[in-house]
């Protein structure tokens, strides 16, 4: 829940507008503990009255205007509409090239190799570089003929910060057990796969807890680092929102020039005073 957006919407059958209602108090406490706020205004959303249809989002979410139609038009509840930008992280796509060496005809490949210039004893290169060039050229041509290059694109999930070598090994072993079960469809292989999956996720939870516990304890002496760690843990950074433009030097200069010009225009018609009257008080000693 810390790694994605939170949207809780619907009819909870709790009168949110009643501040003294025990269920409403409990709901507010629960959602506040997860830094969520209610976006629907305190208006009746049911024909019998009461704000029982709610929309909860994270406190830092930028949500547009919430429109609440009068109840009874479509059903006994109100139709609630609101715009919310969805934060979609692009997929990590990895492309690799491979050749299907296991599917080639070995006899045909051997026959083509014997007929190639690589095995022609009448034409021998005069240097070692010539031998290497001929070898690479002939083998690459035969490889393209019998096992052409194929490209495969695979999506990879974004890795957590606490993933280590042990987690990678557990995940690879889990994939092997899954493939074994997919091929055999036996109950024993499925049990082995499920048991390893439970073990893997339990170790993942331990590693995640230990990682964040160490991060928080190591940054306890620095409030700035501590709050930065908490922000990354709670995913409270508002990504995708436009940043406020910074004040430029030219804008600062234009502001003061406009201010001085405004003062001159407001006092331009006043008579000029060149002399001052005598001061009523003197200051001749401390």
So where are the chain's domains? 7-81, 92-156, 165-218
Judge if pTM exceeds 0.85: no
Please state, in angstroms and rounded to a whole number, the distance separating the CA atoms of residues 81 and 102: 57
Q: How far is CA 189 from CA 25, 172, 174, 194, 195, in A?
A: 49, 16, 11, 9, 10
Please state, in angstroms and rounded to a whole number, the distance separating the CA atoms of residues 128 and 132: 6
Q: pLDDT band at residue 3, thresholds of 50, 70 and 90?
A: low
For 120-169, the pLDDT digits (tens) are: 888 888 888 888 998 999 999 999 999 999 988 877 666 677 788 888 89
Strands 67-68 and 53-58: unpaired
- 4: Cβ contacts below 8 Å, ≥ 6 apart: 87
Q: How confident is the model over 14-32, as a mean pLDDT?
A: 87
C-alpha 126, offset from chain centre: 59
Q: What pLDDT, on the 0 to 100 scale, is given for residue 233?
A: 64
For 193-238, the pLDDT digits (tens) are: 999 999 999 998 898 888 878 877 877 777 776 777 677 666 555 4
- 203: Cβ contacts below 8 Å, ≥ 6 apart: 166, 167, 170
Asked whether the CA dihedral 57, 63, 68, 69 is positive or negative, the reply is: negative
- 204: Cβ contacts below 8 Å, ≥ 6 apart: 167
Determine which of 60-64, 163-167, 189-193, 257-261 has the lowest per-residue pLDDT on average: 60-64
- 54: Cβ contacts below 8 Å, ≥ 6 apart: 8, 9, 10, 12, 14, 16, 38, 39, 40
* Crossing angle for the helix pair 128-146 and 106-115, to the nearest 10 degrees: 140
DSSP designation for 241: S
């Amino acid at each position: 829940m810390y790694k994605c957006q939170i949207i809780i919407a619907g009819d909870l059958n709790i009168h949110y507008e009643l501040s003294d209602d025990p269920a409403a108090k409990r709901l507010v406490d629960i959602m506040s503990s997860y830094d969520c706020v209610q976006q629907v205004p305190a208006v009746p959303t049911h024909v019998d009255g009461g704000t029982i249809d709610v929309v909860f989002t994270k406190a830092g979410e930028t949500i547009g205007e919430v429109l609440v139609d009068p109840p009874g038009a479509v059903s006994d509840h109100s139709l609630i509409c609101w715009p919310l930008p969805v934060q979609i992280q692009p997929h990590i796509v990895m492309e690799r090239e491979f050749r299907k060496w296991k599917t080639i005809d070995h006899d045909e490949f051997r026959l083509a190799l014997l007929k190639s210039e690589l095995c022609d004893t009448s034409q021998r290169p005069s240097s070692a570089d010539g031998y290497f060039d001929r070898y690479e050229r002939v083998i690459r041509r035969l490889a393209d003929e019998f096992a052409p290059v194929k490209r495969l694109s695979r999506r990879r999930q974004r890795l957590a910060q606490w993933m280590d070598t042990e987690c990678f090994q557990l995940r690879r072993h889990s994939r092997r057990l899954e493939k074994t079960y997919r091929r055999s469809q036996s109950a024993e292989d499925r049990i082995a796969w499920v048991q390893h999956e439970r073990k893997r996720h339990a170790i993942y939870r331990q590693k995640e807890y230990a990682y964040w516990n160490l991060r928080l304890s190591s940054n306890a002496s620095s409030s700035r680092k501590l709050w930065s760690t908490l922000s990354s843990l709670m995913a409270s950074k508002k990504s995708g929102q436009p940043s406020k433009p910074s004040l430029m030097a030219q804008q600062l200069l234009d502001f003061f020039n406009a201010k001085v010009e405004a003062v001159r225009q407001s006092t331009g018609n006043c008579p000029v005073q060149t002399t001052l009257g005598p001061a009523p008080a003197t200051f001749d000693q401390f």
